[in-house]
Amino acid sequence: MAYTSANQLELLQTAEAVAREKNIEPGLVVEAMEESLARAAKSRYGAEMDIRVAIDRKTGKATFTRVRTVVEDEELENYQAEFTVEQAKEYMESPEVGQQFIEEVPPVELGRIAAQSAKQVILQKVREAERDKQYEEFKDRAGTIINALVKREEYGNVIVDVGAGEAVLRRNEKIGREAYRPNDRIRCYIKEVRREQRGPQIFLSRTAPEFMAELFKMEVPEIYEGIIEIKAVARDPGSRAKIAVISYDGSIDPVGACVGMRGSRVQAVVNELQGEKIDIIPWNEDMPTFLVNALQPAEVSKVVLDEEAGKIEVVVPEEQLSLAIGRRGQNVRLASQLTGLDIDIMTEEEESKRRQAEFELRTKLFMDTLDLDEFFAQLLVSEGFTNLEEVAYVEVDELLVIEGVDEDTASELQARARDYLEAQAKKAMEAARALGVEDSLANFEGLTPAMLEALGKDGVKTLEDFATCADWELAGGWTTVDGERVKDDGVLEPFEISLEEAQDMVMTARVMLGWVDPDELAAEAAVAEEAEAAEEEA
């Protein structure tokens, strides 16, 4: 079939019909037709030729043209689509490199095979346009709730119809043992939208904490309007959840607003989440206070917060222990997720025993190292001294407040502590040298002899060895294995080195070795600071 005046309008009519059916721009279909006609023309005139087709958007007339580009003599590779300046002079007045010579060629007739190929090109282009449209429609909807229709189930994953395509609710994103039948209506959270080779992939979730937050936003007008803010959510999907809220209007109770009249608002969320029990907790900037709220319904006697280690100790009465921990540790686990802290729960009796054991251990330390009697050692511990460094290098005035300690006694105490520490440092340095620790590491600022000995035992003997360490290998940390938090012991963890300090030390070593450019490091730090400041402002 030749694209002559008889069927020029047919092209546009076909393009409009396909565009309407697929709900895409007619221009995209016309472009696909142009490409398919150009491909058919190349099979007729030669694959090496640069044949292009332009369809007039008003009349539907298809114009076939051959394009040749002027190139340098040494760059001439394709004689059908390129020619040199000398060759071009035959067709052009003053040709220059980069110019194109365009001439019209006779339209081609599409044979059966060419027509089939053209049809495939058009279908492919239409599919790509549909995928692009679907991606553009959903990419900005990530983080919102969508109502969908169940189509089928594949290996535990639910495939749902979202209007402009399909989305996937994976097996691990379903609540408990939810089962759905075709045509069931389902409400999900759009967790992620990815552009992939086979088209956009839309991943849904019903277990994400954000799903619960969005449900509350739909049920509680004060959250939608920004009067109440959801600060944190922790979930054990299908079983129990905790949500922390704060009100920016003193006259509105955030917990009461989320519960609603006779529990109507929270009950609507509970019903959607298959009966998941929800604890609504008032958020507080003071972390210990917030934690006491988070451990509800258990009563807390005392909270000890270690901000540097990100740990918190909670003391509860004996009868409240099982309630604080919860069934299978659920209550304390959710409270930990909500606060972002590792929580240790103990009874008042356990805490008393632990404190007594610590007291006895420190008393013995001072008795053995400073040659003191038990009573004097207990006085030091009672005044808050926990190690020899504190005794050796504290201001003398702090020792003088201890009953029975005068200036001579304080000086003698500090002298004994310093002599002992120096002897231990000397011994540790000798041990480190015996292990093979080299000067390059021994002279590194910030590493004590005891640290060097620990590093030597771990096989870290040179500055190069130290520079290859990860911060968590030095300071310790936590990793998640099969859903459980596992502790990684750090070589320098006994010396209370934080992750930030370990990171700084390792980066300093890399700069000293020339592995890292200090200027680049400073620039990265400045960018990170700017980003952090911008985040805080937002």
The residues, ordered by sequence, that sit 6+ positions from 48 with a Cβ below 8 Å of its Cβ are: 78, 79, 80, 81
Over the stretch 394-423, which tens digit does the pLDDT of each residue have?
A: 888 888 888 878 888 888 888 999 999 899
Regarding whether 118 and 159 lie in a shared domain, the answer is no
Regarding whether 379 and 455 lie in a shared domain, the answer is no
Regarding whether 10 and 110 lie in a shared domain, the answer is yes
Max avg pLDDT among 12-26, 185-199, 249-263, 523-537 = 249-263
Regarding whether 411 and 506 lie in a shared domain, the answer is no
Residue 163 forms part of a structural domain: yes
Is the predicted pLDDT of residue 2 greater than 50, yes or no? no
Name the β-bridge partners of 486: 479
Regarding whether 188 and 116 lie in a shared domain, the answer is no
Q: What are phi and psi of 178, to 5 degrees?
A: -55, 135
Q: What is the CATH number of the domain that holds 392?
A: 1.10.150.20
Is the predicted pLDDT of residue 163 greater than 80, yes or no? no
User: Which helix or strand (DSSP H or E) is residue 397 part of?
Assistant: helix 396-400
What tokens were used for 184?
């069931």
Is the predicted pLDDT of residue 77 greater than 90, yes or no? no
Distance CA 462, CA 459 (A): 9
Across 519-529, average pLDDT: 75
**Total domain count, the chain:** 4
Regarding whether 145 and 115 lie in a shared domain, the answer is no
Q: Which of 96, 122, 148 is the last residue of a domain?
A: 122
Across 9-19, average pLDDT: 66
Residue 422 forms part of a structural domain: yes
Regarding whether 106 and 12 lie in a shared domain, the answer is yes
Helix, strand, coil shares of the chain as percentages rounded to 5? 50, 20, 30
Q: What is the CATH number of the domain that holds 181?
A: 2.40.50.140
Is residue 201 a contact partner of residue 170, using CB atoms and an 8 Å limit?
no
Regarding whether 37 and 91 lie in a shared domain, the answer is yes
Regarding whether 489 and 393 lie in a shared domain, the answer is no
Name the β-bridge partners of 313: 304, 344
Is the predicted pLDDT of residue 336 greater than 80, yes or no? yes
Regarding whether 476 and 521 lie in a shared domain, the answer is yes
User: Which helix or strand (DSSP H or E) is residue 213 part of?
Assistant: helix 209-219
Distance CA 395, CA 387 (A): 15
Regarding whether 106 and 19 lie in a shared domain, the answer is yes
The distance in angstroms from the start CA to the end CA of the chain is 62
Distance CA 329, CA 343 (A): 11
Residue with tokens 């095979």: 113
Which residue in 323, 325, 322, 302 sits closest to 312, CA to CA?
A: 302
pTM of the entire structure? 0.57
Could you tell me where the beta strands, DSSP code E, fall in 127-239?
145-154, 157-161, 166-169, 185-196, 199-205, 228-236
Q: Which of 93, 122, 151 is the last residue of a domain?
A: 122
Name the pairing type of β-strands 240-247 and 277-282: parallel
List Cβ<8 Å contacts ≥24 apart for 77-80: 78/48, 79/48, 80/46, 80/48, 80/49, 80/50
Residue 105 forms part of a structural domain: yes
Residue 227 forms part of a structural domain: no
Distance CA 301, CA 313 (A): 11
Residue 235 forms part of a structural domain: no
Q: Which of 122, 151, 172 is the last residue of a domain?
A: 122
User: Residue 346's pLDDT is what?
Assistant: 82
Q: What are phi and psi of 66, to 5 degrees?
A: -110, 130
Q: What is the CATH number of the domain that holds 78?
A: 3.30.1480.10
Regarding whether 146 and 78 lie in a shared domain, the answer is no
Range of the domain at 39: 6-122
Residue 316 forms part of a structural domain: no
Across 351-360, average pLDDT: 87
